[in-house]
């Protein structure tokens, strides 16, 4: 009987101990944290919204000259850098213009050289005649003729110099046109539209037609 009582007490004590332990407050669950060294950095913020994406700058590249588009080196979507060649217009016609203008300028310079010699010769002849007039060995008519020859040679030289200036201007213009047969990107960007394709004819921007 004593054994049963002791066992009963032990059992009761165990039940009480278990019950009391269940009533104790449980500690809160631990929270995991990540530790890192403090540093300065950019924070990216993403915003979702409906709308249309448009470039801040749009440049339409026009042809300043007319001709066949013999090269088109880009397509829609290509990224390009400032100065990058986008295409070429047939340069044959403009090379011929440069060649002709160069020849005309060279001819004018050659004639100027000949005319300068003629002016020097006329000046020398007039001085000789003037000296003879002072000695009574030449007439005033001869001196007048010498003056006329000199003035005529000077006028011819001025005319040739003016013609050379015109030839130089034509050469400069021809070289400018030739340089414009190469179409280059004016800024860094992306090709978003092509209005012309290789083999098509383009006209100058004065007619409002775009190349790319």
Q: What pLDDT score was predicted for residue 35?
A: 64
CB 66 within 8 A of CB 203: yes
pLDDT digits (tens, 9 = 90+) for 168-211: 999 999 999 999 999 999 888 888 888 888 888 888 754 333 44
Give the chain's count of helices (H) and strands (E): 3, 6
**φ and ψ at 88, to 5 degrees?**
-140, 140
Angstrom distance (rounded) from CA 9 to CA 187:
96
Flag whether pLDDT at 31 surpasses 70: no
Per the model's pLDDT, the better-predicted residue between 153 and 18 turns out to be 153
Dihedral (Cα; 9, 13, 15, 16), 10-degree rounding: 130
What pLDDT score does 195 carry? 82
The mean-pLDDT minimum among 86-90, 153-157, 172-176, 195-199 falls in 195-199
Which among 158, 150, 152, 156 has a CA at the least distance from the CA of 130?
Answer: 150
pLDDT for 102-121, tens place per residue?
A: 999 999 999 999 999 999 99
Joined tokens for residue 111: 């004639």
Q: What is the pTM of this model?
A: 0.64
Task: Write out the two tokens for 43.
Answer: 């924070």
């Amino acid at each position: 009987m004593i054994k049963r009582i002791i066992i009963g007490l032990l059992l009761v004590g165990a039940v009480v101990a278990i019950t009391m332990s269940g009533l104790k407050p449980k500690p809160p669950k631990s929270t995991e944290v990540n530790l890192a060294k403090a540093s300065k950095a950019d924070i990216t913020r993403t915003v979702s919204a409906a709308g249309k994406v448009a470039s801040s700058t749009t440049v339409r590249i026009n042809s300043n000259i007319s001709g066949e588009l013999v090269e088109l080196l880009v397509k829609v979507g290509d990224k390009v850098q400032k100065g990058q060649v986008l295409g070429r217009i047939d340069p044959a016609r403009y090379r011929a213009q440069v060649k002709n203008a160069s020849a005309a300028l060279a001819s004018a310079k050659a004639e100027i050289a000949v005319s300068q010699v003629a002016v020097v010769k006329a000046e020398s002849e007039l001085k000789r005649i003037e000296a003879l007039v002072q000695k009574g060995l030449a007439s005033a008519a001869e001196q007048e003729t010498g003056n006329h020859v000199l003035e005529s040679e000077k006028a011819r030289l001025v005319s040739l110099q003016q013609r050379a200036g015109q030839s130089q201007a034509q050469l400069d213009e021809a070289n400018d046109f030739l340089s414009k047969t190469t179409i280059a990107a004016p800024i860094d960007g992306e090709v978003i539209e092509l209005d012309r394709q290789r083999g098509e004819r383009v006209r100058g921007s004065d007619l409002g037609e775009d190349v790319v």
